[in-house]
C-alpha cells in the first residue's frame, strides 16, 4: 500500500471473534476478555506503529444488538441483560485500545465504527416521531459512550425500565471518560422508517435491521433501500452530535453483475449509486461537516456477509466465482473501476451533480 501511495486504515476487530474465547471464556460476557483484547491491541499497534497512523477499534460495534454472536460471541438466547453487559465490556476494551494507541503511536488517530442505520418516522404523528428517536438512540448510544466518555441518561432509563443492572466499576467509568475516540467512522448502505403500526412492524421483521420500508425510495435486488440523501442527513446528525471528524468507511451496492459476450462488466447501476452518494457527501461538506475520508465496500468481489452469497457483488473488480464455489477466480475490471479511478484522480470533479430539488 505504501509503495502505491495508499494510506492504511486498520480495524483491530472486524467480525472475527476468536472461537477459543467463546468456548473457554464465554466471549465478551467475560470481563477477562477486556484484558485479552488490550494485549492483542497493544501487540498490533506496536507491530505496525511505523506503518499505520489511522486506526479503528471494533467494526460496526452496534451490530451486537442484531447479531450478538457475531458481535460479542453470545447466542441470541442469552437475553438483553447478558448482551448489554458484554457490550459494556467491549466498550471498555475499545477505550483501552484508544489509550494504548495514544501511548504507543502518539501521532496516530483512532476512531470507532458504527453501523449507520439512520431512521425516519414513517409519518409525522408524534408517536412515530418519538419511537424514531428511541430507535435511533439504540445505535447512537454506542457513539455517545465512545465519543463522550459516559453512558447517556436515556440509556440509564432504558436499563431501569427493563430491569437491567450492569456491572460498571469506577475504573470502567474512569477509562471510558479518559479515552474517547479521535473521530467517528461508520458504514452506510440504507435508511429506513419507524412506525408504531403493529402490522407494519410485523412485516418489517424480514428486513435486515427490521426497518419499515420507505414508500418514497427504490430498493436494490436484495431489498436494501437506496437513499443517497440519507448519507448527507446522517453526516449532519453525527457531526452536530459529536463535533468530531467523520469517516465513511463502508458504502456500496450489492448487485448481480453479468459479464457481456466480450468479457466487459457494465455496472452502470453501481456507478449511479456511488455517484449519487458521493454528491451527497460533497453537500454535507458544504454544510460544514468535517469529512476525513470515504472508502467504498469494497474494491473486489467477495462473499457477502449478510447472505453468504458470491452473487451479491460489491466490487470494482469482478471475480469469476459463483455461489457454489465454481469458477476460475479470474479477475476483471468492471466499468465502475475506471469510473472510480477518474473520480479519485479528479478529486470528485467528474461526479454528476444532480439538479437542485
Query: Cβ-count burial of 347 within 10 angstroms (0-12 exposed, 13-18 middle, 19+ buried)?
Result: exposed
Helices (H) and strands (E) in the chain, counts: 11, 10
ω into 298 cis (within 30 of 0)? yes
Asked whether the beta carbons of 302 and 321 are under 8 A apart, the reply is no
From the candidates 38, 103, 250, 330, which is the catalytic residue?
250
The two beta strands, 331-333 and 192-194, are: unpaired
Which SS3 state, helix, strand or coil, does residue 274 take? helix
For residue 291, give the nearest of 111, 136, 166 by alpha carbon: 111
Question: Is residue 60 annotated as a catalytic residue, yes or no?
Answer: yes
What are the contacts of 307-313 at 24+ separation with CB within 8 A? 307/222, 311/256, 312/221, 312/222, 312/254, 312/255, 312/256, 313/254, 313/255, 313/256, 313/257
- Adjacent-strand bridge partners of 112: 184
From the candidates 16, 60, 221, 290, which is the catalytic residue?
60
Q: How far apart are CA 55 and CA 245, in angstroms?
A: 14
- Adjacent-strand bridge partners of 120: 193
Residue burial 281-303, b: 16+ Cβ < 10 Å; e: rest: bebbeeeebeebebebbeeebee
The set of cell numbers assigned to 31 is 470481563
Question: Is residue 131 annotated as a catalytic residue, yes or no?
Answer: no
Q: How far apart are CA 302 and CA 314, in angstroms?
A: 8
Sheet arrangement for strand 109-115: 9-13, 54-58, 109-115, 183-187, 246-250, 291-294
Q: How far apart are CA 114 and CA 200, in angstroms?
A: 26
Give residues with Cβ within 8 angstroms of 328, minimum separation 6: 320
What positions carry a catalytic annotation?
A: 60, 250
Amino acid at each position: 500500500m505504501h509503495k502505491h501511495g495508499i494510506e492504511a486504515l486498520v480495524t483491530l476487530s472486524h467480525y472475527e471473534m476468536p472461537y477459543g474465547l467463546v468456548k473457554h471464556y464465554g466471549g465478551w460476557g467475560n470481563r477477562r476478555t477486556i484484558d485479552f483484547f488490550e494485549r492483542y491491541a497493544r501487540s498490533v499497534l506496536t507491530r505496525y506503529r511505523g506503518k499505520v497512523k489511522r486506526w479503528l477499534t471494533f467494526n460496526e460495534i452496534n451490530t451486537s444488538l442484531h447479531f450478538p454472536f457475531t458481535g460479542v460471541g453470545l447466542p441470541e438466547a442469552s437475553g438483553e441483560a447478558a448482551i448489554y453487559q458484554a457490550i459494556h465490556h467491549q466498550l471498555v476494551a475499545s477505550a483501552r485500545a484508544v489509550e494504548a494507541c495514544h501511548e504507543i503511536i502518539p501521532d496516530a488517530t483512532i476512531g470507532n465504527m458504527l453501523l449507520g442505520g439512520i431512521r425516519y418516522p414513517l409519518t409525522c404523528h408524534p408517536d412515530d416521531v418519538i419511537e424514531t428517536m428511541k430507535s435511533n438512540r439504540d445505535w447512537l448510544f454506542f457513539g455517545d459512550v465512545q465519543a463522550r466518555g459516559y453512558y447517556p441518561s436515556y440509556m440509564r432509563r432504558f436499563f431501569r425500565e427493563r430491569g437491567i443492572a450492569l456491572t460498571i466499576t469506577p475504573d470502567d467509568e474512569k477509562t471510558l471518560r479518559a479515552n474517547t475516540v479521535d473521530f467517528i467512522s461508520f458504514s452506510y448502505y440504507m435508511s429506513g422508517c419507524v412506525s408504531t403500526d403493529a402490522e407494519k412492524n410485523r412485516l418489517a421483521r424480514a428486513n435486515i435491521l427490521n426497518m419499515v420500508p420507505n414508500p418514497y425510495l427504490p430498493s436494490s435486488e436484495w431489498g436494501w433501500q437506496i437513499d443517497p440523501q440519507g448519507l448527507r442527513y446522517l453526516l449532519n446528525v453525527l457531526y452536530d452530535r459529536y463535533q468530531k471528524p467523520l469517516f465513511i468507511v463502508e458504502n456500496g451496492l450489492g448487485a448481480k453483475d453479468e459479464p457481456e459476450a466480450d468479457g466487459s462488466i457494465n455496472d452502470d447501476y453501481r456507478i449511479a449509486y456511488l455517484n449519487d452518494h458521493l454528491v451527497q457527501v460533497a453537500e454535507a461538506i458544504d454544510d460544514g461537516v468535517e469529512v476525513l475520508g470515504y472508502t467504498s465496500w469494497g474494491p473486489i468481489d467477495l462473499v457477502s456477509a449478510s447472505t453468504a452469497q458470491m452473487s451479491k457483488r460489491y466490487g470494482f473488480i469482478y471475480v469469476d466465482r459463483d455461489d457454489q464455489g465454481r469458477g476460475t477466480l479470474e479477475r476483471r475490471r468492471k466499468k465502475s473501476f475506471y469510473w472510480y479511478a477518474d473520480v479519485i484522480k479528479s478529486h470528485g470533479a467528474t461526479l454528476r451533480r444532480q439538479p437542485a430539488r
